[in-house]
Amino acid sequence: YAPWCPACQQLEATWESFAKESQGLGVTVAKVDVTQEPGLSGRFFVTTLPTIYHANDGVFRRYRGPRTLEDLQGYILERKWEAVEPVAGWKSPSSIMMHGMAGLFHFSGWIRHIHNYLTGTLGVHVWISYAIFIVATLLVGLLLGL
């Protein structure tokens, strides 16, 4: 979820109720703020918010059903998750590819942080910051090419 997301805000009360009843269902319910954990949004290939995953014994399934408390409970109690196809091995959050994707998300956050430092703290003009990143990209490419 993200705090600014209207759909996430709409689901929040239901999700909190589901979390309170989770111990009786034998599951652990959590939420992750993708603005604070960008690597996880890359690792889980989050393209829409909110995104719900069910994980059991290292097997991940994306929940795409209705988002009422009754439906979420039924998904667990009636074991509806067994009928949902697991996330493909290469797209699994534990795969090497998704570890790499998480790294790219962390890297993009690092670049954004440097850009904000250059423009906000040092007062460098935005276009000069862009030029610095362009030159750095070209230099890294040349070094890797050599």
Active-site residue set = 5, 8
**Alpha-carbon distance values, 107 to 17, 47, 116, 143, 145 (Å):** 35, 18, 14, 19, 21
92's torsion region: left (phi>0), alpha (psi -120 to 50) or beta? beta
Distance, CA of 77 to CA of 134 (rounded, Å): 53
One-letter amino acid at 109 equals G
Q: Which residues of 56-67 are buried (b: 16+ CB within 10 A; e: fewer)?
A: eeeebbbbeeeb
Going by C-beta distance under 8 Å and a sequence separation of 6 or more, which residues neighbour residue 38? 105, 106, 108, 109
